[in-house]
């Protein structure tokens, strides 16, 4: 069964897309935890970071560079946070790797 992100990528489900290229898509989160909360999702299904393979190295690097570029486009030059949840104890809710880009206010630490 396709994940919600696969359905967004295939346009079965609509989303507020802020960036897209051949490797990934970036969408506004529907339950934002900060004024800016964008998900950067690889088009290739990688269930979670803990299951990424050496062959995914280029995709993983591309996701981080995309996060940096999207943060700049969103005027987050004063700071932002990147989060990747892995597994149920890590807060993972969709079994499709994605990066949370959070910003638009001062973020506290520790986050959990």
Fold of 4-103: HIT family, subunit A (3.30.428)
Distance of CA 52 to the CA centre of its chain: 15
Catalytic-role residue among 37, 78, 96, 98: 98
Write out pLDDT tens, residues 26-42. Answer: 999 999 999 999 999 99
Write out pLDDT tens, residues 3-28. Answer: 999 999 999 999 999 999 999 999 99
For the whole prediction, is pTM greater than 0.85?
yes
Residue 98 designated active-site: yes
Q: Are 25 and 43 in contact (CB under 8 A)?
A: yes
User: Which residues touch 33 (CB under 8 Å, ≥6 apart)?
Assistant: 100, 102
Please report, for the chain, the start and end positions of each structural domain, with discontinuous segments joined by +.
4-103
């Amino acid at each position: 069964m396709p994940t919600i992100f696969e359905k967004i990528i295939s346009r079965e489900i609509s989303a507020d897309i802020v960036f897209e290229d051949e490797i990934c898509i970036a969408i506004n989160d529907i339950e934002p935890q900060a004024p800016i909360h964008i998900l950067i999702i690889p088009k290739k299904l990688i269930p979670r970071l803990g299951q990424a393979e050496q062959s995914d190295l280029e995709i993983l690097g591309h996701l981080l560079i995309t996060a940096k570029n999207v943060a700049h486009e969103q005027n987050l030059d004063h700071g932002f946070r990147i989060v990747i949840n892995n597994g149920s104890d890590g807060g993972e809710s969709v079994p499709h790797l994605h990066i949370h880009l959070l910003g638009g206010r001062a973020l506290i630490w520790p986050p959990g």
